[in-house]
Structure 1
Amino acid sequence: MNENTIRVRGIDYYVETAGAEDLPTIVFLHGFTGSTATWQEVTKMLKGKYRTVAIDLTGHGKTSIPRDVNRYSMDEQVEDLEELFNALSFQQFKLVGYSMGGRVALAYTIRYPKRVTSLILESSSPGLKTENERMERQAADGRLADRIVSEGLRAFIDFWGNIPLFSSQKKLLAEKQLAVKNERLSQSETGLANSLRGIGTGSQASYWDRLHTVNLPVLLITGELDTKFVNISREMQSYFPNVRHETIDHTGHAIHVEKPDTFATMIEEHISELKNRGGSL
Structure 2
Amino acid sequence: MTTHEYAPIPDPAYTGRAPFRDYQTWYRVTGDPTRAARAPLVVLHGGPGCTHNYVAAIADLGSPERAVIHYDQLGCGDSTRLRDHGPEFWTVELFLDELDNLLRYLDIAEEYDVLGQSWGGMLAAEHAVRRPSGLRRLIIANSPASMADWGAGATALRDELPTEIRQALERHEAAGAYDHPEYRAAEAEFYARHVCRVVPNPPEVERTNRALAEDATVYGHMNGPNEFHVIGTMKDWTIVDRLHLVDVPTLVVNGRYDEATDDCVRPYVENIPGARWHQFENSSHMPHVEERDTYMRVVGEFLDA
TM-score, normalisation: structure 2: 0.73
Of residues 195, 198, 207, the one that matches 1:172 is 198
1:39 CA drift (Å) = 2.7
Residue 217 of structure 2: aligned partner? 190
1:49 CA drift (Å) = 3.0
The AA in structure 1 aligned to 2:77 is G
Of residues 144, 164, 173, the one that matches 1:125 is 144
Measure, in 2, the Cα distance between the counterparts of 1:220 and 1:105: 12
Residue 109 of structure 1: aligned partner? 128
Distance 1:117 1:239, change over 3 A: same
Cα deviations by residue, 1:155-180 (Å, 9 ceiling, x for unpaired): 79956961525425675253x44542
1:19 CA drift (Å) = 0.7
The AA in structure 2 aligned to 1:232 is C
Unaligned residue ranges in structure 1 (runs of 5+): 134-142, 274-281
Cα deviations by residue, 1:182-235 (Å, 9 ceiling, x for unpaired): 32112313233234269754154x211111111111100110122752222223
Measure, in 1, the Cα distance between the counterparts of 2:58 and 2:279: 18
1:73 aligns with 2:98: no
Distance 1:157 1:183, change over 3 A: farther
Contact between 2:244 and 2:273, CA under 8 Å: does it hold in 1? yes
Measure, in 2, the Cα distance between the counterparts of 1:157 and 1:177: 23
Residue 35 of structure 1: aligned partner? 51
Cα deviations by residue, 1:82-109 (Å, 9 ceiling, x for unpaired): 1221112112211000001111111111
1:52 CA drift (Å) = 0.5
Matched residues, number: 257
Measure, in 1, the Cα distance between the counterparts of 2:177 and 2:71: 27
Residue 263 of structure 2: aligned partner? 231
Of the structure 1 ranges 15-24 and 35-44, higher mean CA displacement relative to structure 2 is found in 35-44
The AA in structure 2 aligned to 1:164 is F
Residue 68 of structure 2: aligned partner? 52
Cα deviations by residue, 1:129-175 (Å, 9 ceiling, x for unpaired): 69xx9xxxxxxxxx89x867xx49xx79956961525425675253x
Residue 163 of structure 2: aligned partner? none
TM-score, normalisation: structure 1: 0.79
1 or 2, which has the higher helix percentage?
1
Contact between 1:18 and 1:51, CA under 8 Å: does it hold in 2? yes
The AA in structure 2 aligned to 1:7 is P
Measure, in 1, the Cα distance between the counterparts of 2:249 and 2:177: 40
Cα deviations by residue, 1:220-273 (Å, 9 ceiling, x for unpaired): 011012275222222321111120000111211111121222221112110222
1:85 aligns with 2:110: no
Of residues 270, 276, 281, the one that matches 2:302 is 270
Measure, in 1, the Cα distance between the counterparts of 2:177 and 2:195: 24
Unaligned residue ranges in structure 2 (runs of 5+): 1-11, 153-172, 225-230
Measure, in 2, the Cα distance between the counterparts of 1:46 and 1:104: 22
Contact between 1:95 and 1:119, CA under 8 Å: does it hold in 2? yes
Of the structure 1 ranges 7-16 and 31-40, higher mean CA displacement relative to structure 2 is found in 31-40
Measure, in 2, the Cα distance between the counterparts of 1:156 and 1:5: 40
User: Following superposition, which runs of at least 4 residues in structure 1 exceed 6 angstroms of deviation?
Assistant: none
Distance 1:85 1:157, change over 3 A: farther
In structure 1, the residue corresponding to 2:272 is in which secondary structure? coil
In structure 1, the residue corresponding to 2:295 is in which secondary structure? helix
Contact between 2:140 and 2:251, CA under 8 Å: does it hold in 1? yes
The AA in structure 2 aligned to 1:53 is I
The AA in structure 1 aligned to 2:241 is D
Distance 1:177 1:271, change over 3 A: closer
1:29 CA drift (Å) = 0.7
